[in-house]
Amino acid sequence: ENFLPKTSAPFSTNSYDAFISPNTLNLSSFTKLMKKLQEIHPEASRDRIVDALLEVRKNNKGILSGLSINSIVKRTSVIL
């Protein structure tokens, strides 16, 4: 029934369309991050913001954990 891994979920542009079990991933940080970035960059599409977040992740050795939301917002804003 649950086909998603328990440790992480893919960071894709379609992730908001899929149902994700509460046990699989806590999306509150991602939701806050997206909301903040959409407020700061209303001209940027959701896909463009996700692409920028993926670039931030790539530039940070493939991970976002350990970075504060404000740090991620600043780094993403530079890219956008």
In a domain, 14, yes or no: no
Q: State how many domains the chain has.
A: 1
Which residues, including other chains, have CB under 8 Å from residue 26's CB and lie 6 or more apart?
none
Q: What is the pLDDT of residues 1-57, one digit of tens each?
A: 444 444 444 444 444 444 444 444 456 888 888 999 999 999 999 999 999 999 999
Which residues, including other chains, have CB under 8 Å from residue 58's CB and lie 6 or more apart?
none
In a domain, 28, yes or no: no
pTM for the complete prediction? Answer: 0.65
Tell me which amino acid residue 14 is.
N
Burial of 50 (0-12, 13-18, 19+ CB in 10 A): buried
CA end-to-end distance (rounded Å), the chain: 38
Q: What is the pLDDT of residues 9-19, one digit of tens each?
A: 444 444 444 44
In a domain, 26, yes or no: no
Domain that holds residue 74: 35-79
